[in-house]
Amino acid sequence: MPFSSADLAAIGLTLRLAGTTMALLLVLSTPLAWWLAHTPSRWRGAVSAVVALPLVLPPTVIGFYLLVTLGPNGALGQLTQWLGLGTLPFTFWGLVVGSLIYSLPFAVQPLQHAFESVGKKPLEAAATLGAGPLDRFFTVALPLAGPGFITAAILSFAHTVGEFGVVLMLGGNIPGVTRVVSVQIYDHVEALEYTQAHWLAGGMVLFSFVVLLGLNLTRRKAAAAF
């Protein structure tokens, strides 16, 4: 069998982390993307820049500041301890928090572009028929922005699967708790276990190719439908 029990555990943990992050990002990013797509606020540019920061910052920088902020002496770390949750670094939920921030632009930006592409006319037409703001959002905007949600889900899931710097800084290398596939590959290379590293790395390459291929096909179908 090409994968050891440790490899399978890392794969399972990675899929769990990516799935959890994707689901939470779709929920949290939707109102933010809607606001960015429609607000006339002068803060729009600043908020967009903050959302896009993970695209340009080294993952280790993000991981370091999260480690400090969520640690026992950090502001959020003290809050989680006061709430009885303990500290989040070196735990699965610490990885989730790091993944949410690291993959945020891969969810927000596709959703923002999807909401912008809906335009005002469908919403105005629904308003003339008596639909309220929430009704227009759920019955008009969300269905028309469907391709954007598919893109956001695929990109946020795939981007989380490929994390290394953030998870290593924030979660360390704890088997079954924080050791994801990227860290497992690093461990194999450090131990000169190149065959095992090849199997995992090759699987990542294949996964990335399938994701990009599926994303391109989805975009083509969406473009044809509209």
Q: For residue range 119-176, list pLDDT tens digits in order.
A: 777 776 777 766 777 777 777 788 888 888 988 998 999 899 988 889 999 988 888 8
Alpha-carbon gap, residue 180 to 8, rounded angstroms: 10
The average pLDDT across 2-30 equals 91
pLDDT at residue 23 tops 80: yes
3-state per-residue secondary structure call for the chain: CCCCHHHHHHHHHHHHHHHHHHHHHHHHHHHHHHHHHHCCCCCHHHHHHHHHHHHHCCHHHHHHHHHHHHCCCCHHHHHHHHCCCCCCCCCHHHHHHHHHHHCHHHHHHHHHHHHHHHCCHHHHHHHHCCCCHHHHHHHHHHHHCHHHHHHHHHHHHHHHHCCCHHHHHHHCCCCCCCCCHHHHHHHHHHCCCHHHHHHHHHHHHHHHHHHHHHHHHHHHHHHHHC
pLDDT at residue 21 tops 90: yes
pLDDT tens-digit readout, 2-15: 788 888 899 999 99
CB-based contact 187:53 (threshold 8 Å): no
pLDDT tens-digit readout, 86-116: 889 999 999 999 999 999 999 999 999 988 8
Please name the residue that has the structure tokens 């598919």: 150
Alpha-carbon gap, residue 79 to 86, rounded angstroms: 9
Residue type, 33: A
Query: What's the pLDDT score for residue 224?
Result: 62
pLDDT at residue 226 tops 70: no
- Backbone φ/ψ region at 130: left (φ over 0), alpha (ψ -120 to 50), beta: left
- The candidate with the shortest Cα–Cα distance to 81, out of 65, 92, 69, is 69
Query: What's the pLDDT score for residue 66?
Result: 93
Query: What's the pLDDT score for residue 1?
Result: 57
pTM: 0.88
Please name the residue that has the structure tokens 């896009």: 52
Query: What's the pLDDT score for residue 139?
Result: 77
Long-range pairs for 37-40: beta carbons < 8 A, 24 or more residues apart = 37/112, 37/115, 37/116, 38/115
Is the pLDDT higher at 52 or at 212?
52
